Amino acid sequence: MLLNGRYKKEVSLNKEKIDLKSLNREELEAFLSSFGKEKYRTKQILRWIYQRHVTDFSDMTDLAKQFRQQLSEQAVISSWQPEVVETSQDGTRKYLFRLDDGESVEAVRIPMDEDRATLCISTQVGCAMGCQFCMTGTFGLTRNLRTEEIVNQVCAALVDGPVGNIVLMGMGEPLHNLDNVVKALQIFYLDDGLGYGTRRVTLSTCGLVPEIMELSRRIKVNLAVSLNATTDDVRNQLMPINQRYPLSELMATCREYVQTTRQRVTFEYILLGGLNDSVADAKRLVKLLHGVRCKVNLIAYNEHDGADFKAPGEEAIKTFQTYLLQRDIVATLRASKGQDISAACGQLKGKLDKILLA
């Protein structure tokens, strides 16, 4: 395991140092100014960290030796390697990362074609939202991920090749960890760093209404809302957050978000066999989405241990999607990936936790 005695000792020795992967551009500039350094040094260091993947200050050869020594005395550059990797026959790759406190999180690399991949990353250890269809929800919330822990998932995945898009749809509710998530997004967007445009990053939420609007004020990102039901009764059953922010309030906020940001919202809809996949549900969904600039991402439920829900039938999926398309709603069906590995959020963590506790 990663947390052997030597690793614990190194973490303890470094805990007072600043991890440069936790800093956005403004914070890094302020840190470097404490050494009396010019702003252009920020660009140099960002390139070393995020474009050349250097973690040892001594390798930053265009910096003065004395400056490199100063940096090594006050800062570190963290780097992650997965503890476990599962690879599917279709190329999907599931990473499990062990954190410095012994906790673990997952990320999933999903191949889109020969040259592109999407990376699904986590924002919390566990989740407090308690969605009934999600295995991560069974763990409860342990803690938020720090900024550098969110960023390091991307850096680690880049070792295996380019990542075209990032989706914050892994373990945890991103808007429940808003400050660290916003800062991680700022780092993703740095031209001298990872260089992702705002169109290439998507954040998924279960529907934290105040935080959705706060997000719109703080940073630009593609928004995906996990909807999954067309009535409050069913959504209350599936997603406890609906008892605080019912569908009427959530949809009003989504309309305001679209008007404020001029961006389209994606609604994720997990099709659960016999529960929310009927033609009647499709009709109600069309009414809910009226007047909202959006698209719908249909997802066939991925069955896993610990949940009683069933995957929908092929005919039900086709009928549901066709009904939306015929009413001019963009409705895509997410291709099923990683079926032969622990692909769903929390499955790999849950499986390994059982082994460790056995």
Q: Say what percent of the chain tops pLDDT 70.
A: 88
Q: What is the pLDDT of residues 87-116, one digit of tens each?
A: 999 999 999 999 999 999 999 999 987 778
Which pLDDT value is given to residue 2? 37
Q: Do domains 5-76 and 97-357 have the same CATH topology?
A: no
Specify the pLDDT at position 341. Answer: 56
- pLDDT single digits (tens) 253-285: 999 999 999 999 999 999 999 999 999 999 999
What are the pLDDT digits (tens) for 117-135?
A: 999 999 999 999 999 998 8
Catalytic, out of 127, 206, 254, 345: 345
pLDDT at 6 over 60: no
Sorted by where each begins, the domain ranges of the chain are 5-76, 97-357
For residue 354, the model assigns a pLDDT of 45
Confidence label for 147 from pLDDT (cuts 50, 70 and 90): very high
Query: Which pLDDT score, from 0 to 100, does residue 196 have?
Result: 97
Mean pLDDT confidence for 220-230? 98
**How many C-beta atoms surround the C-beta of residue 21 within 10 A?**
25
CATH number 1.10.150.530 is the correct assignment for the domain at 5-76: yes
Q: Where does the pLDDT of residue 219 fall: very low under 50, low under 70, confident under 90, or very high at 90 and above? A: very high
- pLDDT band of residue 339 (cuts 50, 70, 90) is low
* Among 86, 106, 149, 268, the one annotated catalytic: 106
d(CA 116, CA 331): 22
Is 206 noted as a catalytic residue in this protein? no
Confidence band for 336, pLDDT divided at 50, 70 and 90? low
CATH 1.20.1740.10 for the 97-357 domain, yes or no: no
Q: What is the mean pLDDT of the chain?
A: 90
The lowest-confidence range among 26-40, 205-219, 233-247, 303-317 is: 303-317
Q: Can you give the three-state secondary structure of 36-98, one letter per residue?
A: CCCCHHHHHHHHHHHHCCCCCHHHCCCCCHHHHHHHHHHEECCCCCCCEEEECCCCCEEEEEE
- Separation of alpha carbons 353 and 104, rounded Å: 9
Phi, psi of 142, rounded to the nearest 5 degrees? -95, -50
Looking at residue 52, what is its pLDDT? Answer: 96
- Among 225, 226, 287, 293, which Cα is nearest to 261's? 293
> Which pTM was predicted?
0.90
Q: For residues 30 and 24, give the distance between their C-alpha atoms in angstroms, rounded to a whole number.
A: 10
* Whether 173 is catalytic: no
CA distances, 60 to each of 45, 46, 53, 69, 77 (Å): 8, 11, 11, 11, 12
Measure the CA–CA gap between 312 and 90, rounded to whole angstroms. Answer: 22
Q: What is the mean pLDDT of residues 313-317?
A: 97
pLDDT tier for residue 348 given thresholds of 50, 70 and 90: low
Mean pLDDT of 7-26: 73
